[in-house]
Structure 1
Amino acid sequence: MARSTPPSSSAPGSGRTEWPGKILGLPESGPRSMGSFGRRLLGLLIDWALASLVSLVIGTYGAAGNFVTLGIFAALQVVFIALLSGSFGHVCVGLRVVPIRGGYVGVWRPAVRTVLLCLVIPALIHAKDGRPLHDAAAETVLVRR
């Protein structure tokens, strides 16, 4: 006989059985687990501070240079992710960007990911598997080192 409600994946009070990245086959914690919101945010702040510092050094920091700072941020993202599998901020907080299907991250993935990150909104919306849309569109995931 068919059930009218789907079976429960856990008994009441038995704790959490779902975590970000479970659908992707990633562990709940430790290396290769999905990076937490706090680490992601701290990495982003470090990257923005670095872009602002570069913008200040070249003399474009301020109201007139906001798009220059954004361009510097984007360039740093693409270069560092392509070379180090993570931006400077990601490396500092112990994260790395990996393709879902494995292999080298390449150049197109960091470029797509960065353009969408700079638009902000895709970074705030998450897919069913727990990844922000800029990662889902680039077929990448940000994991712990």
Structure 2
Amino acid sequence: MQLRHGTFSYLPDFSDADIAAQVRYALLNNWPVSIEYTDDPHPRNVYWEMWGLPLFDLDEPDGVLAEIDACRATFPRHYIRLTAYDATYGRQTTALSFLVQRPPDEPGFRLDRTDAADRSQRYGYHPYALDRRPGERYSG
């Protein structure tokens, strides 16, 4: 099972050339990009840790790719995503977001069902990665 997260989640994982093409597209649209990482990819966890500061005023994707490589080297077993923001609306609006790295082993999620009043059922997710401590969730 692979986590489906972001704009291109049902496509095969991007190569560095594919990532560079998407970064170039974002830069041509004047969208600043940021790089984020996490070891808790729960579907409702939208606030990931930011790698450095958002990257403004770039013309070529080389600077973004260098930051992605540095983040990969520091966190080889984390999820890493690239997010591009469109400021034309006057507020922070995500224009493009996709994974640039996933851990080698993704343990997945368990669906928990709970019976409630009037025979209704409630569902919740439990990520197997959370059975381990932060920093050790994807250590193999």
The two structures have a TM-score, normalised by structure 1, of: 0.25
Higher strand share: 2
Higher helix share: 1
The two structures have a TM-score, normalised by structure 2, of: 0.26
Larger radius of gyration: 1
